[in-house]
Amino acid sequence: MNFSFKNFYNELWNYRQFIFSCVKREYISLYHNSFLTLFWTFLTPVATLIVYITVFSNLMSTKLSVISIDTSHHSSYAIFLCSGIIFWELFSNITTKLNYVFIENSAIVKKIKFPKICLPLYKTIISVINFLIFISFFLIYVVFTDSFPIILFLYLFLIFILIIIFSFSIGLILSVANVYSRDFGHFFVFFINIWFWITPIVYPIGVLPQNILNVFKFNPMFQIIDSVRQIIIQKQFPNINSILYIIFINLIISLLAYYVYNKYSNEMVDKL
């Protein structure tokens, strides 16, 4: 089903009930016969945070002082780490969920005629809902442990929108490409682990040699995480050049995603 920018939103609006029913069905299946599903959902990221806080707050005690993080208090490093890893988890969850979305839902794609974009969209909505729950607890903690001007929430909302666009676009490209060759999906599962470590999540950018830093800055997630830290830790608007770079990359990736989906989505049924 070919679509243009003009009728894209009309199609999504017409199928809004289908999208929301998919979201509802997934949550019902997730929480059915389980009183601790919410606990299991957040156990892994929380456990990861605890390990990173325990290990890196000691290993990087001297390095973290360059950004005014007092590692003698684990709560200070917790804010530093959470501000990076929560947004990384949003990116990681969206892209990994979308990676196999058409393959996992091949029966629906083959039997029902509907805009296939609905499938990656509803998966993205689920990831966003989980993110909002997680970050709500974190921001409550930040507000009660330190002053946090209201205007900073607007800055965070800007980064929130930009990372959703970036993640959805990457995920959409992967979801289509993976139908034609499973190697794309396998490669991304491998590469995202490397991507994590070339993004300043568990370490500050001050620990990087200048020549490596200059290369890492081309990583869009590097700029996103650094912008989040500027908002939450330094309590200021992110560097305008970083924001413009993220917007530029988003524009390129989203246009590429549109092209890939528009060109190859019709033929996916024959490949599934």
CA distance 199 to 192: 10
CA distance 244 to 61: 32
Between 59-63, 66-70, 158-162, the lowest mean confidence (pLDDT) is in 66-70
What is the mean pLDDT of the segment spanning 25-45?
Answer: 69
CA-nearest of 67, 222, 257, 242 to 158 is 242
Task: Give the pLDDT score at 156.
Answer: 93
CA distance 265 to 219: 28
Question: The tokens of 263 are what?
Answer: 């060109």
**DSSP H or E run through 158:** helix 151-180
Contact 121, 257 (CB under 8 A): no
Query: 151 versus 216: which is more confidently predicted?
Result: 216
Residue 73 clears pLDDT 50, i.e. is over it: no
Query: 170 versus 11: which is more confidently predicted?
Result: 170
CA distance 205 to 193: 19
* Averaged confidence pLDDT in the chain: 84
Report the largest interatomic distance among the alpha carbons of the chain, rounded to a whole angstrom.
Answer: 59
CA-nearest of 168, 166, 164, 171 to 188 is 171
Task: Give the pLDDT score at 72.
Answer: 45
Per residue in 115-148, pLDDT (tens digit) is 889 999 999 999 999 899 888 888 887 877 776 7
CA distance 78 to 8: 41
Domains of the chain, by residue range, sit at: 5-271
